[in-house]
Amino acid sequence: MDKYKIAVATSDGIVVNQHFGHADKFYIYEIRDNIFTQIEIRHTKPACISREHDENTVTKNLELIKDCKFLLVSRIGVYAQQQAENLGITPFELPVMVEDALKKAVTFVKIQNLFERN
């Protein structure tokens, strides 16, 4: 049984429409046996202000979601992407409907599992 969490940067819970550094919250979904359920919203402080990012805030925001396997955003800068990957979080830029983005992430895991079993 696969069970993991995905953090989604969305302002409305409908579309993945937030840049990582501009997000003031992340919707957290639990994936269990390929079925996703929203379990909470975690509030953050935006890390980017006028194209400048605060590295400490980037780190704090990533620490807040470090229990998530994936991070779905509309955009993410190189620094934040590297820091996420260092924590074991795989970021994806998927500016689509949240449901579609979650389905793509679940499909990605299924494909990874196929290759790991061979």
User: What DSSP assignment string belongs to 51-87?
Assistant: TEE-HHHHHHHHHHTTT-SEEEESB--HHHHHHHHHT
- The phi, psi pair for 40, rounded to 5°, reads -170, 170
Structural domains present in the chain: 3-117 (3.30.420.130)
- CA 39 to chain centroid, in Å, comes to 14
65 touches 59 (CB < 8 A)? no
In this prediction, residue 10 carries a pLDDT of 97
Instruction: Check: CB of residue 69 under 8 Å from CB of residue 89.
Output: yes
pTM, two decimals, is 0.93
Q: Are the beta carbons of 22 and 95 closer than 8 angstroms?
A: no
Pairing relationship of beta strands 70-73 and 90-93 according to DSSP bridges: parallel
Q: Kindly state the tokens that stand for 110.
A: 């299924």
Q: In Å, how far from its chain's centre is CA 111?
A: 19
pLDDT of residue 50: 73
**pLDDT of the residue at 31:** 95
Confidence at residue 115, expressed as pLDDT on a 0 to 100 scale: 82
Q: Which of 11, 33, 22 is nearest to 98 (CA)?
A: 11
- Record the tokens describing residue 84, joined without a space: 């996420």
Each residue's pLDDT expressed in tens, for the chain with a length of 118 residues: 579 999 999 999 999 999 999 999 999 999 998 899 999 999 999 998 777 778 999 999 999 999 999 999 999 999 999 999 999 999 999 999 999 999 999 999 888 888 876 5
